[in-house]
Amino acid sequence: MITLLTLLPMVGGLLVLAFYRSRDLARLFAVIFAVGALAIALLFWHGLAPAHPGMQFEETHAWVPSLGMTYHVGVDGLGVLMLVLSAIVVLMSLAASWANEKQSAVYLALVLFLEAGLFGTFTALNFIHWFIFWELSLIPAFFLVRLWGGKARARAAAQFFLYTMVGSVALLLAFLALFLATSAPGRPGSFDFVELAQLAQSGQLAGALAQNLHWFGGSPDHLAMLLFWAAFLGFAVKTPVVPFHTWLPLTYAEAPSETTMLLTGAMSKMGVYGFLRILLPIFPQQMQRAQTPLLWLAVATIVLPAFAAWVQKDLKRTFAYSSINHLGYCVLGVCVAVKFTGTDAGLAAEKAAALTGVLLQIFSHGLTAAALFWFVALLERRSGGLRGIDDFGGLRTIVPVFSGLMGIAIFASLGLPGLNGFPAEFLIFKGAFPLAAWATSISVLGLLMTAVFLLTVIQKVFSGPVNSRWEAMADLTTSERLALLPVIALMFVLGLYPQLITGMVHGTVMQWVMSLNQGMRF
Angle at 202 between CA 201 and CA 203, to 5 degrees: 95
Report the share of the chain in percent with pLDDT over 90. 72
Q: How confident is the model at residue 130 (pLDDT cuts 50, 70, 90)?
A: very high
Task: Please give the average per-residue pLDDT across 77-82, as a whole number.
Answer: 94
Give Cα separations from 449 to 29, 173, 455, 456 (angstroms): 43, 38, 10, 10
What amino acid is encoded at 136 in this protein? L
Predicted confidence at residue 29, as pLDDT, reads: 93
Q: How confident is the model at residue 500 (pLDDT cuts 50, 70, 90)?
A: very high
pLDDT higher than 70, residue 216: no
Predicted confidence at residue 215, as pLDDT, reads: 64
pLDDT higher than 80, residue 83: yes
- For residues 55 and 75, the answer to whether their CB atoms sit within 8 Å is yes
Angstrom distance (rounded) from CA 16 to CA 27: 8
Task: Please give the average per-residue pLDDT across 411-416, as a whole number.
Answer: 93
| pLDDT tens digits, 143-185 | 999 999 889 999 999 999 999 999 999 999 999 989 988 887 7
Region of 50 on the Ramachandran plot (φ > 0 left; ψ -120 to 50 alpha; else beta): alpha
- For residues 516 and 279, the answer to whether their CB atoms sit within 8 Å is no
Predicted confidence at residue 23, as pLDDT, reads: 81
What amino acid is encoded at 367 in this protein? L
Of 216-220, 226-230, 259-263, 278-282, where does mean pLDDT reach its minimum? 216-220
What amino acid is encoded at 281 in this protein? P
Q: Please state, as a whole number, how many other Cβ atoms lie within 10 Å of the Cβ of residue 465.
A: 8
pLDDT higher than 90, residue 480: yes
Task: Provide the residue ranges of all domains of the chain, joining segments of one domain with +.
Answer: 290-522
Task: Please give the average per-residue pLDDT across 307-332, as a whole number.
Answer: 94
Adjacent-strand bridge partners of 187: 184
Which of 316, 358, 344, 354 shows the shortest CA–CA distance to 461?
A: 316
| pLDDT tens digits, 323-378 | 999 999 999 999 999 887 767 777 888 999 999 999 999 999 999 999 999 999 99
